[in-house]
Structure 1
């Protein structure tokens, strides 16, 4: 039995497209009876709005929202750049990256070649493949917390 709501913080910027895809995929697979909050955390209002339209439970925008919620989250999901200061064309501040990096939450980072951040991976593939893997990892973590 889950004792509390599980908070999944989805961090995105530059329109929130990857966060939107993740939230859409997760909500299709997530059992409806689980007490899960999917919180859209955008570096800008367009990103937050886009993720809200995808089915996030609630959302907030900006540095303070990301910093405050990173410490509360059970799971944080976003592209790898969310742990790199000044990434996402400068939208991700050092304070935000530090909060995500220091959080006790499980961080599920989606590989995405952007903003001069690359990951040496054993395989390459379409973005949706990595989003699907992130969804699987999220569902596994929810089961562990149950």
Structure 2
């Protein structure tokens, strides 16, 4: 199973997601770090991603080549992440046939109704459980 983790700005969310995926699944997943900037990509690679790429073209090309995309909900919103996520990136992610596991952070003027407010690590744990269910692994 190929999973793309997409992040931008400081890359902290992507770093945490990649670390948790490696902790839970070991090497049973192929993780591709896709950063809107080099810092985000670098942090995800250091956290255990198999490979990584940076920028608009990398995200546009790879969004269609993975089974699951994980990132903050802002990755499907044009001009989010302080403008780092271009309209073309958002379109490619939203239109990708991959399942999207979106972490519901209420930033970029996106507020997701019905979502319980909790710390980021809890959302990341929720995202990992969704990946586990998609793989057919039994729950821990």
Q: TM-score w.r.t. structure 2 length?
A: 0.93
Sort the Cα spacing of 1:122 and 1:109 in 2 relative to 1 into closer, same or farther, 3 A.
closer
Output the aligned Cα RMSD.
Answer: 1.2
Give the corresponding residue for 1:12: 7
Q: How many residues of Structure 1 are paired with residues of Structure 2 in the alignment?
A: 137
Asked whether the equivalents of residues 63 and 98 of structure 2 are also in contact (C-alpha less than 8 Å), the reply is yes
Which ranges in structure 1 are unaligned for 5 or more consecutive residues? Answer: 1-5
1:65 to 48, 58, 65: 58
Give the corresponding residue for 1:121: 114
Offset of residue 31 of structure 1: 4.5
Residues 45-81 of structure 1: CA distance to partner in whole angstroms, max 9, x if unpaired? 0000011111111100000000000010100000000
Which ranges in structure 2 are unaligned for 5 or more consecutive residues? Answer: none
Q: How far apart are the structure 2 equivalents of 1:122 and 1:44?
A: 29
Q: How far apart are the structure 1 equivalents of 2:108 and 2:100?
A: 19
2:80 to 66, 87, 111: 87
Q: TM-score w.r.t. structure 1 length?
A: 0.90
Q: Does structure 1 residue 103 correspond to structure 2 residue 80? A: no
Sort the Cα spacing of 1:122 and 1:90 in 2 relative to 1 into closer, same or farther, 3 A.
closer
Sort the Cα spacing of 1:46 and 1:93 in 2 relative to 1 into closer, same or farther, 3 A.
same
Give the corresponding residue for 1:3: none
